[in-house]
């Protein structure tokens, strides 16, 4: 996969987190630049009941002894019921997350700046800005979904920053951003996310933006647009989570993917991704087993387990944002405060585009329902063939072209 606007010099970070300039040809990890692939092996929780451990061991393949006896990075962050069983034994750390993310960002061709943005309440938002020199157009701000981070936009960053500045950041409680304790009520947790986005915008000095959100990010981008409409010139919702009301008739409920149902049935009331932390040194392999599709999605850039490692390290840390998400949901597919009940509160002048994967498990009829609630406003809904929930990675070329067209309609 070729990036549309190659640059001779890009900016990245060294192992200490400091900015440095580097040439694409020197990158040993990105397949588009060099054929030698680097691999960062995970060498370097406990269960709700004994059956959990047995289930994990039965589910996982045989592991080589080098994995079983390798050193473990010990982490003792609070895990609710998990902390009452065994010391945490997750082979993860923020340093490992930083390293694997750096390998991903080294694939960028355009100039970029990666840094922490400090908020007045002492929280920090990890931010990546691509093409910061293009200041004459409205910037595009991209908000990732549940369990994601800035690295998952790697297939989109260069294309979407060819003619304007692009900002992406790790949501509070996710990725490399601060992981505070969120309010325990749905409205309070949602407001904490939205307030952090607005405070981030103020600190960044962004007067207005084209706001794009995927999944949970789409839910939060909509909530933000209700509260701060003057800051958003166009709202782009990509397979947004949390819009429809939960049907009373079970036959009307679209079944989630098998991996979602499997995790939910085993974990019950615990956090959605607690299984990754429970699994300890087998966690990275769980990601690969549950979601082998991610390796295929990013195969143009990586033929190793870089993306799986990134997803694991994003979600094996203290589950701050994950706990907030659990507070906001009834079950994995439904929000306690459905956005369809509030979408009419967005100013009618704000244009909205809703992009779905044709094969997604999200209810795509939401787009038509939004149109009905906003008869005098611009609302466009569309489906991209050959794409599921992660539209931006399933069909990146089509997705990028659609988003570029929307951005060009703004300025």
pLDDT, mean of residues 120-146: 97
Q: What is the DSSP string of 355-402?
A: EEETT-SS-TTHHHHHHHH-TTS-EEEEEETT--S-HHHHSHHHHHHH
Assigned token pair, 302? 């990586």
pLDDT at 212 over 50: yes
Q: Which parts of 170-250 are beta strand (E)?
A: 209-214, 232-238
Each residue's pLDDT tens digit, 67-76: 222 233 333 3
Question: Is the C-alpha dihedral spanning 170, 175, 180, 181 positive or negative?
Answer: positive
Q: What is the DSSP string of 128-147?
A: EEE-TT--SSPPEEEE--TT
Task: Name the more confident of 167 and 32.
Answer: 167
Task: Name the more confident of 179 and 32.
Answer: 179
Each residue's pLDDT tens digit, 60-69: 222 222 222 2
For residue 394, what pLDDT is reported? Answer: 96
pLDDT at 98 over 90: yes
Q: What is the DSSP string of 68-128?
A: HTS---------GGGGGTS----S--HHHHHHHHHHHHTT--S-EEEEEEE-TTS-EEEEE
Assigned token pair, 410? 């703004």
Each residue's pLDDT tens digit, 363-411: 999 999 999 999 999 999 999 999 999 999 999 999 999 999 999 999 9
């Amino acid at each position: 996969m070729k990036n549309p606007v190659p640059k001779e010099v890009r900016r990245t970070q060294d192992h200490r987190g400091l900015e440095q300039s580097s040439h694409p040809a020197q990158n040993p990890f990105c397949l588009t630049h060099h054929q030698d692939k680097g691999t960062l092996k995970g060498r370097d929780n406990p269960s709700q009941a004994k059956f959990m451990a047995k289930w994990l061991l039965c589910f996982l393949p045989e592991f080589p002894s080098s994995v079983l006896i390798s050193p473990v990075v010990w982490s003792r962050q609070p895990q609710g019921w998990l902390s009452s069983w065994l010391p945490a034994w997750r082979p993860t750390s923020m340093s490992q997350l930083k390293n694997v993310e750096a390998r991903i960002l080294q694939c960028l061709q355009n100039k970029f700046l990666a840094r922490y943005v400090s908020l007045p309440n002492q929280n920090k938002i990890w931010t990546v800005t691509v093409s910061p020199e293009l200041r004459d157009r409205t910037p595009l701000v991209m908000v990732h979904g549940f369990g994601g981070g800035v690295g998952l936009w790697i297939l989109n960053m260069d294309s979407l920053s060819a003619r304007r500045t692009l900002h992406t950041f790790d949501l509070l409680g996710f990725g490399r951003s601060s992981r505070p304790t969120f309010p325990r009520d749905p409205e309070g947790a949602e407001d904490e996310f939205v307030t952090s986005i607005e405070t981030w915008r103020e600190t960044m000095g962004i007067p207005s933006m084209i706001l794009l959100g995927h999944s949970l990010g789409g839910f939060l981008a909509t909530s933000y647009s209700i509260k701060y409409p003057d800051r958003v010139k166009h709202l782009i919702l990509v397979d947004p989570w949390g819009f429809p009301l939960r049907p009373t008739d079970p036959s009307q409920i679209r079944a989630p993917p098998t991996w979602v149902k499997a995790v939910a049935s085993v974990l019950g009331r615990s956090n959605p991704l607690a299984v990754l932390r429970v699994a300890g040194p087998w966690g990275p392999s769980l990601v690969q087993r549950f979601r082998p599709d991610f390796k295929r999605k990013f195969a143009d850039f990586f033929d190793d387990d870089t993306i799986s490692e990134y997803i694991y390290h994003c979600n094996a840390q203290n589950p701050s944002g994950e706990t907030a998400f659990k507070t906001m949901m009834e079950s994995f597919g439904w929000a306690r405060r459905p956005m369809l009940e509030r979408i009419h509160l967005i100013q009618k002048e704000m244009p909205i585009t809703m992009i779905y994967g044709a094969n997604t498990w999200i209810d795509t009829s939401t787009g038509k329902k939004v149109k009905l609630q906003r008869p005098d406003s611009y609302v466009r809904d569309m489906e991209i063939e050959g794409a599921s929930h992660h539209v931006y990675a399933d069909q990146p070329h089509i997705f990028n072209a659609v988003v570029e067209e929307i951005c060009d309609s703004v300025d």
